Chain A
Amino acid sequence: MHTELKRLRSLLDQRIVGHDDVKDALLLGLVCREHIYLEGPPGCAKTLMAELAARGSELAFFFYHFHRDTRLSELLGDVVLERRALPDGSGERIGQQIEPGGILTAEVCVLDDLSRAPGEALNILLRILNERRFGSEPIPLLTAIATGNPLRDDYYNEPLDPANLDRFAIQLRVSGLLQSGDAQAARDLVDRFAELPELAEQVSEPVMDRAAFGELHRALLEVELPGPVKDGLLEILRVLIEERGVNEENGLLTDRTFLVKALKLVRGRALLRGRMSAALEDLQVLEWMMTFRVPEQLRPEIPELIRRVAGV
């Protein structure tokens, strides 16, 4: 792996016990410039991981925690009113505009508790995420990392609709180490904080050079994608669509995501493993893309299906 990325990864490892897949996915998202959505119960370190990955990368950073009163100006920048006298002196013109800030000037942003955003803010936000432009101006945004709570019978968060979630190429479920009963992880967690009580108080510094990102991204485009990998990708999609009955109604296997973005992520995985040519095993990134894009009941089958096709 690229040395700069390794430093970012070890920053994550140093602060967070377990969650290897989430850490990998975060790096992948940063390198591929795709958006990431993490869903998990409160207190499972999803925000902390998102923030560490984003802050550790020396890119212009924006953190926003959504609440029901989120105003667009908090996300986009100050609302500015300009008053100008009319040339003929008969009155004045009052114009309203946004002075870009927040998400419009950031390269990496963490959108915490996205599921609490009021509809009005969400619509504009998702358009920005998708098009990476505001109005007609392109914005520097590379990666947005959003977190959300699973929908419980709590009344206050509303389910994000699948079309909204589709903006996030990488989608992961995060579960608590203690809640999932992982004894070794729980032990590591307790040991870590018993030995290093100051860990929780540390403020992280960027560990990655921003030039490295440009370099990685350029390298990404050069990763070779052999025919069998493309065949494998299509085979997985074929099985899901033709044999398992995924369609437009119950899933979101869109061309944009699975024929364009998927290639990028497959290349990214190869790059993260230090290869300049993608292999069948790199198709495992598809698992992270399907979390909320296939019907719930199919989800348990996905890893097995990918492994079978990839021959891992």
Chain B
Amino acid sequence: LSEKAVAEGHLRTLRAALDAAITGQEEAKTGLLLAWLAREHAYLEGPPGCGKTALAEAWSRATGAPSAFHSFSRETRVGELLGDVELRRTARAAGQRIAMELAPGPLLGAEVTVLDDLARAPGEALSALLELLSERRVRGRELPLGSAVATGVPPETAAVDALTPGMLDRFAIQVRMHGLLDARDWSTARRLLDEERPPVVQPAAGSLLEWQTLQRATQRLPIPGEVRERLLEVLARLRMLVTRETGPTSQGLAGRSGVVSAAEGGALLSDRSFGPLALRVMRAHAGLRGAVSVEICDLEALRYMLARRVPEALRADAEALVDGATELPELWDEAAATGSGTAPGRGGGPPQDPAASGNEPPEQLEIVSASGLPNVERPGADVLPLLRALEGRLARGRADLEEDPAGAPRRQRPMRGLEDFFDADPVEGWLYASAQLPEPPRVLRRERPGSGGAVAVLRDVSASMEGRLSSWAGDVVLGVVGLARRARMGLGYLEFNHRAECYTDAGRFFHRGYAALTRLATRARCEGRTSYEAPLGAALQAFLHVPDRSRHIILLTDGVPVVGDPEVSAARRLARQLRVKVHTVFIGLGDCPEVLDRLSLETGGLRFRARPSLRGPLRVRERGEI
């Protein structure tokens, strides 16, 4: 009993230390406690300034365990984490032996580790770190590492490549944080203002040995059969939820049709995370309650695992599903009877009429593609030929390897300055530094596939596009989003009638917020009259600010320009100057305006026309030379 009291005391102190550091953010705090009790890793994702780092640091201090802190940047190298290269010299009969060895780095001795801004690190540099996290072992040596807490900004706000669900799978706990203001949590915001005070250094809660005992005891809590049963049901339903929305997750690769990429942000229900890890986290949850056995209510712990394992569009559903699982059996069974744990008020998902879906054969559900996307395979939405042709064009810019500090070493180049020294061949570097080689050492040239330039989609939303044409145009936009995503192109999206409306991300027209654009594309409203001048002008202006790589505009329209310069001479000139390829897609029965031909031919773009038929598919043809 006294042991239990001690444990409760420690947990309370730890919680208090987190409370003292940050107001609100209860979910993240619970997540950290769960991670620590389960000896698992946690990933806190949230916008800048919501308290991620402060919380992680408070946690690492309060555990009282030996800790390490590393802040990531685009230039982070494996050596910084695992240790520097040492040259060891030993005398030998015939001369001297100089061997390269790795010195133990700061992360290797830590029990708790804070990995700040992990999402900023170049993805490729992380694999060594992730290996360390999951194996808790480096080069055959066991590490004391218990829990690591990483923080990161959401993929949309980061200027760098997003961490993939596969990489994040090592973090059992994943919590999405929101700023208090962003979440409109006015009462907590008020509390934050009231609690304004100098930071207090909290004492460590418990000794490392006590914690380890508690962690071990927690991980031996029994899990009765009914809890396992319920867990399996939750997993089955989670799987149904993500499969229905994103297609099969395991081998779904580029999507069935080749158009929609693997799912926005992807879903990952791996055996590791929802087998052993989920059980560990549930045991920790029971330990947090001071219980002697895991119960149904501990399934709530799954909530803290969802953030990046389920695409954002489905998160509300998934959370509702988990919440439902902790309910009384009657309520849960009732939810089961209606077929899904769908929560009301989810954003952007395809309409799922429960009655209708009940009548449909299950295969029908399978065809629905990535989150919130209309099904690209349905009749009337034959966008494939168009996308294939475009893909060929867009892909041209990306096959080349470009020099990039975050790339992989592929060849060698001469050293340019001292900052290169870390990438130098160590032996040559040493010889150079000890003045035995006149030439500077060779350094590794790091390269990665080109980021593919930028593509702007200009979508006509004038009144005549209302209805079927608009939904078709939406499919095209979604397809282009998928292409851009695969080619890692900056993507700009603009809707126009007589005016042009750009959708920017943090003030930038070209960005990689593919998920946000996916949502936008499905809900265009059509009104007004058509102008070409306004949209082309706006998009071309934006190209002035992006690197001179491959630049594309895709113009989707059904009408002749009735507002502005019908010949768009200024825009054509600028497009040629900037070497922007303008691909035009004319949708409609009438004659294609000549100006579209000129635009494409002058800039080297492709020309398409899509001809609607009364019933059956919309026919798309690439138009040849006239």
Contact = CB atoms under 8 A, between A and B. Distances in A.
Contact of A42 (B98, B232, B270, B411): B270
Contacts of B167: 42
Contacts of B271: 43-45, 176-179, 189
Interface of A: 17, 40-45, 63, 65-69, 73, 78-85, 92, 94, 96, 99, 112-113, 116, 118-120, 149-156, 173, 175-181, 183, 186-187, 189-191, 193-195, 197-200
Given A96-B427, A179-B270, A116 B124 contact: yes
Contacts, number: 182
Interface of A, secondary structure class, is: mixed
A103 to B, nearest CB: 14
10 contacts: A42-B165, A42-B167, A65-B128, A65-B131, A68-B408, A69-B409, A79-B100, A81-B98, A179-B239, A186-B232
Nearest to B131: A65
Nearest to A42: B166
Contact of B488 (A69, A81, A113, A155): A155
Nearest to A93: B95
A286 B40 CA distance: 41
A114 to B, nearest CB: 12
B300 interface: no
Interface of B: 77-78, 92, 94-101, 123-125, 127-128, 131, 135, 140, 161, 164-167, 169, 219-220, 223, 227-228, 231-232, 235-236, 239, 243, 248-251, 253-254, 261-262, 266, 268-276, 279-280, 283, 407-411, 426-427, 431, 436, 448-449, 485-486, 488
A43 B250 contact: no
A83 B283 CA distance: 59
B125 A78 contact: no
A80 B98 CA distance: 5
A68 B436 CA distance: 30
Contacts of B239: 178-179, 181
B497 to A, nearest CB: 33
B280 A197 contact: yes
Given A65-B131, A79-B427, A193-B275, A44 B270 contact: yes
Contacts of B165: 42
B557 to A, nearest CB: 29
A116 B166 CA distance: 14
Nearest to B407: A68
Contacts of B251: 150, 173, 175
Given A94-B431, A154-B164, A178-B269, 18 more contacts: A41-B270, A66-B127, A67-B124, A67-B128, A69-B409, A79-B426, A81-B98, A154-B166, A177-B275, A179-B270, A179-B271, A186-B235, A189-B276, A190-B279, A194-B223, A197-B280, A200-B276, A200-B280
A254 B253 CA distance: 28
Contact of A193 (B135, B243, B266, B276): B276
Contact of A84 (B94, B448, B486): B94
A223 B235 CA distance: 46
B250 A41 contact: yes
Given A67-B124, A179-B239, A179-B249, A79 B232 contact: no
A173 B169 CA distance: 20
A153 B99 contact: no
A83 B101 contact: no
Contact of A69 (B77, B123, B140, B249): B77
Contacts of A153: 254, 261-262, 485-486
A176 B279 CA distance: 17
A309 to B, nearest CB: 26
Contact of B272 (A44, A67, A154, A190): A44
A193 B249 CA distance: 24
A45 B272 contact: yes
A82 B96 contact: yes
Minimum-distance CB pairs A-B, first 4: A43-B270, A43-B272, A42-B166, A68-B408
Contacts of B436: 94
A273 to B, nearest CB: 28
A80 to B, nearest CB: 5
A66 B239 CA distance: 31
A99 B283 CA distance: 48
B426 to A, nearest CB: 8
A69 B128 contact: yes
Contacts of B261: 153
Given A65-B131, A96-B427, A194 B279 contact: yes
A197 B219 contact: yes
B253 A150 contact: yes
Contacts of A82: 92, 94-97
Contacts of B219: 197-198
A191 B228 contact: yes
Contacts of B236: 181, 183, 186
A69 B427 contact: no
Nearest to B77: A69
A78 B81 CA distance: 20
Contacts of A92: 95
A124 to B, nearest CB: 14
Please indicate which of the listed interface residues B124, B407, B431, B436 has the most CB atoms of chain A within 10 Å of its own CB: B124
A112 B486 CA distance: 25
Contact of B228 (A40, A118, A190, A199): A190
A289 to B, nearest CB: 20
Contact of A156 (B124, B254, B270, B427): B124
B75 to A, nearest CB: 13
B262 to A, nearest CB: 6
Given A79-B427, A153-B254, A178 B283 contact: no
